[in-house]
Amino acid sequence: MATEAITHTNHGDYLVDPPGLKSWLTTVDHKRIGLMYMWSVVFFMIVGGLFALLLRLELLTPKKTIVSAELYNQLFTLHGAIMTFLVIIPAIPGSLGNFALPLLLGAKDVAFPRLNLASLYIYWTGALMAVATLVIGGADTGWTFYTPYSTTTGGGVTLIVLAAFVLGFSSILTGVNFIATVHKLRAPGMGWFEVPLFCWGMYSTALIQILATPVLAITLLLIVMERVLSVGIFDPALGGDPVLFQHFFWFYSHPAVYIMILPAMAVISEVIPTFSKKTIFGYKAIAFSSVAIALLGFLVWAHHMFVAGMSLFAGAIFSFLTFFIAIPSAIKVFNWIATMWRGSITLGTPMIYAINFLLLFTIGGLTGLFLAALSTDVHLHDTYFVVAHFHYVMAGSNLIALLAGIHYWWPKMFGRFYNEAMGKIAAALVFIGFNATFLPQFLLGSRGMPRRYYNYLEQFQTLHVFSTVGSWVLAIGLFLALANLLASFRNKKEAPANPWGGRTLEWETSSPPTTHNFEGQPVLKHGPYDYRPEPAPVGAPEPTHH
Amino acid sequence: MNWFREWLLGPQGSDHAQSVDNLYVFITLLTIFFFFFNGGLIWYAVRKWRRRSDKEVTPHITHDTRLELIWSIIPLIVVMVIFFWGFTGYVKAWVAPNDALEIVVTGKKWVWQFEYPDGTRTLNDLHVPVNKPVKLVMHSEDVIHSFYVPGFRLKRDVIPGRYTELWFTANKPGIEQVYCTEYCGKGHSDMLARIFVDTPEQYETFLREGDEQVRKMPLAELGKLVYENKGCATCHSLDGSRGQGPSFKGIWGKKEKGADGKEYQVDADYIRQSILMPQAVIVAGYEPIMPTFQGLLREREILGIIEFLKTQQ
């Protein structure tokens, strides 16, 4: 069917039509831009991951194991900066968002295709600047750039700060594009509540990207002004206030945590119904909880500062507001589990990752309660407990969801199947390795081991060794997953249009899609998660169930 | 339950620690419960409703308002309980009693300096009396540091240009470990201190004569202790490797070339001057960054360093 359809059109497989490297570098096709984002993210994940392995290896013993204290400080700075700004923030929106969002909406492309290409080039520019920092002396501030350390230390801090500034623009452009696309380019018949939940997630993410990123951009410029022009803003020696920086920084960087988690939730909301062959439970609850998280995320930044000398009153307000984020997060998790309930579940590789996500996010979310509560946070702040918690949320949830999404849309992207058995083995290793790496860190933290420590007391060594060995298992799992995906290029292009039996629009076009996505304009015939043998046409009143 | 709490958090050095730990254990149990609850539901669903044929049809259940309310309101109640629990603990740890003993803490790369009401000063060793509230008034001379005492479950940032406070009542004699928990550069993980919780008699003696063990130590051994505990080791190596300052390997009797071009013989006077007036002579090739230790070391400790350096061949 699909091949027959292609012969009737002017356009072929988007991967080879038009052919040639130049056509890729100048493309405005959202799918190609998505793929180039994906490979860039994978590349930097390998770089950031190698730094992480070096850090863990150094922590195998107290005092010096393989690197000096100065190098260690640079490594954790680059690991944090690369993983945050080059990997996690652009990972799902840049790759899967660009690839899948227009397909899910039944659109030919995003609203501003040229802006989309510009965002990729800006990303590459920022990435080059970040990497160049290594050459001009490195940076040892930590990815948080706390003042006045960051405004007084030597090395290439100015360059890496400017890199983060530049990367912010690529994030903003992606956000603008997604908002406009969701508003204007939905297929005929697709009302707001027929929009797939992936797009709701991307939309909520985009809101944060365009509202919060400018604040970071300004803050980073202020650091550069203080470093280069000695304008006293943050350094008390110049008449500034160092705590002001923390307010500015977290005003962006806390919402940025939701830039990382909302896309993960967006992917999971697609994978679970498809592999449960059952309509999503609580569509509106999931959609609105995404928006609620996006908005509430702006009101909680100072929970990073309970020990930074804030007033008692401010601490109480921010703690109180922070707890409300727990509610939409809990709502989502329970709705996903309810979707599986009485479903018809297939444990394909994407679903295995989705279940891993549910388990890891449960730990990541609940350990947030320790840090939202004032008295326990005072003990745990800036210890390994925090390191473990945010890795569960950022890596354990975002990274795992990225893997779920890549495995989910891989046949759509390339028309090829990867090896299912190997995919599951890799997923299992990632899960085991991840927990072996980060569970011991909760215990390190609760027992008082501070983070960003090159040297440590001997009483902590056993747990550090455990964690380091875990990082090797995690690395092997991730390597296997990547190798398995790459090995699929040896297979024939035989993936059908709808390999998983999904109900959203991207499964109605060929795998891989043609350059213009669909033959003509697709019209929405039924809701995105309608698995009834005879789906109700859109707009028909829903029967009530209890 | 006590072994579990101890296993998670280590020993408690104050009454406040106990109240923090109760909340910590509560949330831990909650986390474990929900992990297995969610995991159990997923496991059950996957086992029971595994897809067996391509023709399987699932029920079309779009939502259930009652369920949505249940799983919104129950978590809401739970988190509000946690909020108030954490808040009350925080408030209690906020305002120091009026009769608290006030000690001034200065953080600088990468040492902690303590000044007692009578003017006594110590580096990296803080002596406090047991069962008496102590208030630390803290500030930093360079970047932000953070004063963390896991045994008391307390920490507070130490910031340049403003004062922050931290108070506690240690409830058993012994030693508490102190860490710097705000990243502050190369020596961050060596910016450690110890709190000696003294009996009232020990504390009196300390104020009068200094630390007891230290008083009885042979000079070279005392010098080694000073070298390790007062921050010298951060910049001056013993193995000849280059640090922020000249290595101590073979330094005794050596002729150093100063930045002013003159030569200086490393003898007792030179070492004494370098400790108390570090800017007087700068060894060529090094930055003038060493802080003065004037008023921070006892005379006997300086003699100890001199003896210790003689042993470094």
Query: How much is the ipTM here?
Result: 0.92
Give the number of A-B residue pairs with CB atoms closer than 8 Å. 277
Q: Which of A115, A230, A238 is nearest to A169 (CA)?
A: A115
Sheet holding B193-198, edge to edge: B125-129, B193-198, B174-180, B145-149, B154-158
DSSP state of A398: I
- Specify whether the backbone of A322 is left (phi greater than 0), alpha (psi in -120 to 50) or beta: alpha
Cβ-defined contact of B85 to A375 (cutoff 8 Å): yes
CB B243 within 8 A of CB B287: no
Cross-strand partners of B127: B196
pTM of the model: 0.89
CATH architecture of A2-508: Up-down Bundle (1.20)
Q: How many CB atoms lie within 10 A of CB B140?
A: 26
- List of chain A residues whose C-beta atoms are within 8 Å of the C-beta of residue B34: 362, 366
CB proximity under 8 Å: A 518-537 to B: 530-533
Burial class from Cβ neighbours inside 10 Å (0-12, 13-18, 19+) for residue B255 reads exposed
Burial class from Cβ neighbours inside 10 Å (0-12, 13-18, 19+) for residue B64 reads middle
DSSP state of A450: B
Per-residue buried b or exposed e for B210-229, using 16+ beta carbons within 10 Å of the residue's own CB = bbeebeebebbebbbbbbeb
Is the pLDDT at B84 greater than 50? The verdict is yes
Q: What's the confidence (pLDDT) of residue A4?
A: 44
Mutation for testing the A interface, residue in B63, B78, B241 having most A CBs under 10 Å: B63
CB A25 within 8 A of CB A31: no
Cβ-defined contact of A282 to B179 (cutoff 8 Å): no
Mutation for testing the B interface, residue in A369, A424, A438, A530 having most B CBs under 10 Å: A369
Band the pLDDT of A10: cuts 50, 70, 90: low
What are the structural domains, with CATH classification, of chain B?
Answer: 2-43+65-92 (no CATH), 101-213 (2.60.40.420), 217-311 (1.10.760.10)
Instruction: Give chain B's mean pLDDT.
Output: 91
The residue of chain B with its CA nearest to that of A344 is B51
Percentage of residues of chain A with pLDDT beyond 70: 97
Band the pLDDT of B260: cuts 50, 70, 90: confident
CA distance to partner chain B, nearest, from residue A96 (Å): 26
Percentage of residues of chain A with pLDDT beyond 90: 87
d(CA A130, CA A48): 12
Q: What's the confidence (pLDDT) of residue A1?
A: 39
Q: What's the confidence (pLDDT) of residue B140?
A: 95
SS3 B139: strand
Cβ-defined contact of A379 to B19 (cutoff 8 Å): no
Contacts of A327 (CB under 8 A, 6+ apart): B72, B75, B76, B79
DSSP B160-190: BTS-EEEEE-B-SSEEEEEEE-S--STTGGG
Q: What's the confidence (pLDDT) of residue B261?
A: 86
The residue of chain B with its CA nearest to that of A386 is B181
Q: How far is CA A118 from CA A26, A34, A169, B8, B220, in A?
A: 10, 13, 10, 50, 66
Strands B174-180 and B154-158: unpaired
The residue of chain A with its CA nearest to that of B82 is A373
Q: What's the confidence (pLDDT) of residue A143?
A: 92
Contacts of A245 (CB under 8 A, 6+ apart): A145, A146, A147, A219, A222, A223, A233, A234
Percentage of residues of chain B with pLDDT beyond 90: 60
Top pLDDT among A526 and A269 is at: A269
- The domain limits of chain A are 2-508
Instruction: Give chain A's mean pLDDT.
Output: 93
Band the pLDDT of B232: cuts 50, 70, 90: confident
Q: Which of A283, A378, A244, A140 is nearest to B150 (CA)?
A: A378
- List of chain B residues whose C-beta atoms are within 8 Å of the C-beta of residue A320: 83, 87
Cβ-defined contact of B46 to A284 (cutoff 8 Å): no
Top pLDDT among B231 and A375 is at: A375
Q: Which of A125, A121, A127 is nearest to A25 (CA)?
A: A121
DSSP state of A489: G
Band the pLDDT of B85: cuts 50, 70, 90: very high
Cβ-defined contact of A279 to B61 (cutoff 8 Å): yes
Cβ-defined contact of A375 to B157 (cutoff 8 Å): no
Sign of the CA dihedral A204, A205, A208, A209? negative
d(CA A196, CA A104): 7
> For B207-224, what is each residue's pLDDT tens digit?
877 776 677 778 888 888
Is the pLDDT at B36 greater than 70? The verdict is yes
Cβ-defined contact of A319 to B150 (cutoff 8 Å): no
Contacts of B5 (CB under 8 A, 6+ apart): B21, B24, B25
Q: What's the confidence (pLDDT) of residue A5?
A: 44
The pLDDT of A527-546, averaged and rounded, is: 75
Cross-strand partners of B158: B145
Contacts of B242 (CB under 8 A, 6+ apart): none
Of B8, B62, B90, the CB nearest to A283: B62
Q: What's the confidence (pLDDT) of residue A545?
A: 52
Band the pLDDT of A118: cuts 50, 70, 90: very high
Q: How far is CA B164 from CA A62, B138, B155, B156, in A?
A: 31, 5, 11, 7
CB A209 within 8 A of CB A171: yes
Q: What's the confidence (pLDDT) of residue A491?
A: 92
Band the pLDDT of A539: cuts 50, 70, 90: low
Alpha helices for A59-108 (secondary structure H)? 69-81, 89-90, 98-105
CB A358 within 8 A of CB B38: yes
> For A23-33, what is each residue's pLDDT tens digit?
999 999 999 99
Q: How far is CA A305 from CA A15, A219, A379, B79, in A?
A: 48, 17, 13, 20
Q: Which amino acid is at A351?
A: M
Q: Which of A124, A106, A88 is nearest to A403 (CA)?
A: A88
Q: What's the confidence (pLDDT) of residue B134?
A: 96
Top pLDDT among A296 and A5 is at: A296
Q: Which amino acid is at B257?
A: K
Q: How many CB atoms lie within 10 A of CB A1?
A: 7
CB A433 within 8 A of CB A358: no
Q: What's the confidence (pLDDT) of residue A134?
A: 86
Of B31, B35, B189, the CB nearest to A454: B189
Is the pLDDT at A495 greater than 90? The verdict is yes
Query: Terminus-to-terminus CA distance in chain B, angstroms?
Result: 54
d(CA B215, CA A485): 68
Q: What's the confidence (pLDDT) of residue A280?
A: 96
> For A388-408, what is each residue's pLDDT tens digit?
999 999 999 999 999 999 999
The pLDDT of A453-468, averaged and rounded, is: 96
Q: What's the confidence (pLDDT) of residue B148?
A: 97
- List of chain B residues whose C-beta atoms are within 8 Å of the C-beta of residue A377: 86
d(CA A409, CA A406): 5
Q: What's the confidence (pLDDT) of residue B208?
A: 79
Q: How far is CA A306 from CA A212, A243, B154, B180, in A?
A: 21, 12, 11, 16
- From the DSSP assignment, how many helices (H) and strands (E) are in chain A? 19, 0
The pLDDT of A207-232, averaged and rounded, is: 92
Low-confidence winner among A214-223, A341-350, B19-28, B230-239 (lowest mean pLDDT): B230-239
d(CA B120, CA B208): 9
Alpha helices for A302-419 (secondary structure H)? 312-340, 349-372, 374-380, 384-393, 400-414
The pLDDT of A169-189, averaged and rounded, is: 95
Top pLDDT among B230 and A509 is at: A509
Is the pLDDT at A82 greater than 90? The verdict is yes
Cβ of residue A183 closer than 8 Å to a chain B Cβ: no
Q: What's the confidence (pLDDT) of residue A531?
A: 93
The pLDDT of B113-125, averaged and rounded, is: 85
Cβ-defined contact of A315 to B90 (cutoff 8 Å): yes
DSSP A333-344: HHHHHHHHTT--
